[in-house]
Structure formats: C-alpha cells, structure tokens
Amino acid sequence: MSTPALLSFTLSPRRGFHSTLSAGIALYKAAPGCSSFILYTLPPSIIVDRYELSDRNITFELWGESNLELPVFAVEQSDVTLLLSAMPAAPHLQEVVVDVPIHVRYGPPLSSYTHYQSIEIPPPMCFWACPGFVDPSFRSTSSPPVERSEMLRRFAYFLVPETAPLLAAAKLEIPLGSLHDLPLVEAGTATVVLVAFLWLLYRSWACAEKLRTQHLKQQ
C-alpha cells in the first residue's frame, strides 16, 4: 500500500476566464475500506462553482469565498480549498481522472501596458483515508488533511505523501484592463449614453406628434 500517485496535472485552455483542471491519479492497492481523495489549494482569484460540480456528480467539499460575482480585490485574500473524492468508476480500475471546471475573478486594471496576468495553480495532493488500522511501515496520521471536513470525519487514519507532487504548477493567463484605456472608455460610455438619451427623446417626441395629429384629424 502506498499513497495515490499524481500521474498528470493539466489545465485547458491556458488562457481566459474559464478553464478545466484535470488530475490523473494512479490508485495502488489500499487496505479494505480506504478511500482516495484529491485536495486542491487554489489562489483566491480562482472560482469553483459548487453547483457545477454537483451537476457533474462529483463528491466534494469546498471552502472559500462563495460570491461568484466579486472581483479579486473585493474578496478576502485567503486560499480556496477543494476536497474531492477520487474513487474509480469500477473496482478493478487503478487509474482515475477527475476534471474540475474553474473560473477566474476579474483583476484590477493596471497602469502598465501589460494586457495579461499569469495565475499559478499548484498541483493537488492525493491521499488515502482509512477507517481502521494502517500498516505501521507506512507514514500515516490520525489528523485529517482538512480538519473541518465532514467527508473525512468517518475515517481514522490518513496516508499522506511525504513530499510535494513532482509535477509543475499550471499557469493560467487572464486578460486585464489598462488604466491607459480609461479616458477612451469613459468618453465612449458617455457618448453611447448621450446618443441613447437623444434617440429616446426623439422617439418620444415623434410618438407625441403622431398622437396629436391623429387627435386633430378626429376633430
């Protein structure tokens, strides 16, 4: 028995506000009753939609900012924690791939001419959770990797990796606004609002004139 091995960790697409994290896990033979889990620690700019995960029938627990609309500078700068069950579709399978859709909060506009920001997403940690005794030759602990987890509460021992995953972190590039474009945006917005107001004013006048003409004809 050994910890589940992280075989692959990919991000697709690598540019934009919407992407998918994909983790491939090798599940080596575990003790009876043990379950495998994937634990993500994500930066505060990353959004995980719990309803989207539920629609995919993924068993999970999520901690972090729940308001999906707030920009990154309006949320608490603490990590998002995502715990996923990583059991295979059939008992004989020893590999499982778990896809997690993610989204990115809007970042603050910059005064530089940099149009993209790179967000680094570290690979997840994989571990076994077991209800009973674990062979003492393996490094195990009675403390769950996430103390507040309800999913892990029924387990007694946890077989966690001794070292961090060897796979590199994934990098996601997102577009950012530029403060140099602000005068043009403000002028364009004011122009559009003014044109819309004048058009509504004209249509109101035209409608009133039409009604007045019809009224005079009836007289």
Give the mean model confidence (pLDDT) for residues 82-103.
86
CA distance 128 to 134: 10
CA distance 6 to 25: 5
> What integer pLDDT is reported at residue 1 of this predicted model?
55
Rg (the chain; Cα; Å): 27
With 0-12 / 13-18 / 19 or more C-beta atoms within 10 angstroms meaning exposed / middle / buried, residue 76 is exposed
Per-residue pLDDT reduced to its tens digit, 144-170? 788 889 999 888 888 877 666 678 899
pLDDT score of 71: 85
Q: Residue 27: which pLDDT band, with cuts at 50, 70 and 90? A: confident
Place of tokens 């109101």: 204
Bridge partners (DSSP) listed for residue 42: 80
CATH (residue range 5-177): 2.60.40
Q: Can you give the pTM of this predicted structure? A: 0.77
The pLDDT > 70 percentage for the chain reads: 87
Please tell me the distance from the alpha carbon of residue 21 to that of residue 98, in angstroms, as a whole number.
8
Instruction: State the pLDDT at residue 161.
Output: 75
Say how far apart CA 80 and CA 72 lie, in whole Å: 12
At 6, list the tokens.
Answer: 């992280």
Q: Which residue has the tokens 């993924």?
A: 58
pLDDT at 18 over 90: yes
Tokens of 125: 């940690």
Give 176's Cβ-side CA count (13 Å radius).
Answer: 20
* Phi-psi map region of 217: left, alpha, beta (phi>0 left; psi -120 to 50 alpha): alpha
Confidence of residue 49 (pLDDT cuts 50, 70, 90): very high
Q: Write the pLDDT tens digit of every residue in 113-132.
A: 677 889 999 999 988 888 87
d(CA 119, CA 97): 23
pLDDT at 108: 80
In percent, the amount of the chain with pLDDT more than 90 equals 41
Give me the residues paired with residue 118 across strands: 173
Q: Residue for token digits 């004809």?
A: 217
List alpha helices for 50-159, DSSP H: 50-55
Q: What is the DSSP letter of 219?
A: -
